[in-house]
Amino acid sequence: MWVFGYGSLVWNPEFEVAERIVARLDGYARSFCMASIHHRGTPEAPGLVLALDRKDGASCTGLALRVAEGQEAETLAKLRERELVSSAYLECHVPLNLADGRNIEAVAYVIDQDHVQYLGELDLEDQAHIIATAQGQRGPNHEYLYNTSAHLGELGIADPDLDWLASRVRELGHKGPSGLADRKWPDRLQKRVFTGSG
């Protein structure tokens, strides 16, 4: 069984990996388009986490992770506990193009564009202000951004949006929950998310 990592699974898979290789998924973009109310935010002060956002002509380069033999069922259960903490992610099987020319199918977690936690319309500046302030059960939102950006860079995977966000969030500083008033939530999203409906 293969798993496609494009965010925290790249640097913190939390399962035994038998093989890892750079891979490309066509038809999706890596984007901070999901409000996080558990791992990197709270219902009262959501953060943002990465998701695969379906877009024509887009592609996302990440890591294909082959699960150790005999660990498939246990790994899938752990992944579902971690990734399906809300119903905003959909578990899919997607075709990947591996860096060595192989073509495989992998498990991936894709955003449900109809879910209330889908925030695909946020621009990068809005994302930066949110990431600079939020924190959740797994730690500060900026830590998630910095780790992902750094590890993608080490793998030679270019992601200009993540690089820009990492630089901008460092400029803004890490305000913590007290920075809530400085968030750049558009009015209609603030009403939707901060009422607890997300």
54-109 pLDDT, tens digit each: 999 999 999 999 999 999 999 999 999 988 878 899 999 999 999 999 999 999 99
pLDDT reading at 176 higher than 70? no
Structure tokens at 166: 């990492």
pLDDT reading at 187 higher than 60? no
**Residue 154 catalytic?**
no
pTM above 0.75, yes or no: yes
Task: State the average pLDDT for the chain.
Answer: 89
Q: What pairs with residue 35 in β-bridges?
A: 48
pLDDT bucket at 53, cuts 50 / 70 / 90: very high
CB neighbour burial string for 131-161, b if at least 16 within 10 angstroms, e if fewer: bbbbbbebebbbebbbbbbebbeebebebee
**If you ran DSSP here, which 8-state letter would residue 171 be given?**
H
User: Which amino acid is present at 31?
Assistant: S
How far is 73 from 26, CA to CA, in rounded Å? 27
Domain membership of residue 31 as a residue range: 2-197
- Give the chain's domain count: 1
Name the nearest CA neighbour of 131 among 160, 158, 81, 167. 167
Q: Are 184 and 124 in contact (CB under 8 A)?
A: no
Q: Looking at 16, 19, 69, 83, which residue is catalytic?
A: 83
For residue 27, the domain's CATH number is: 3.10.490.10
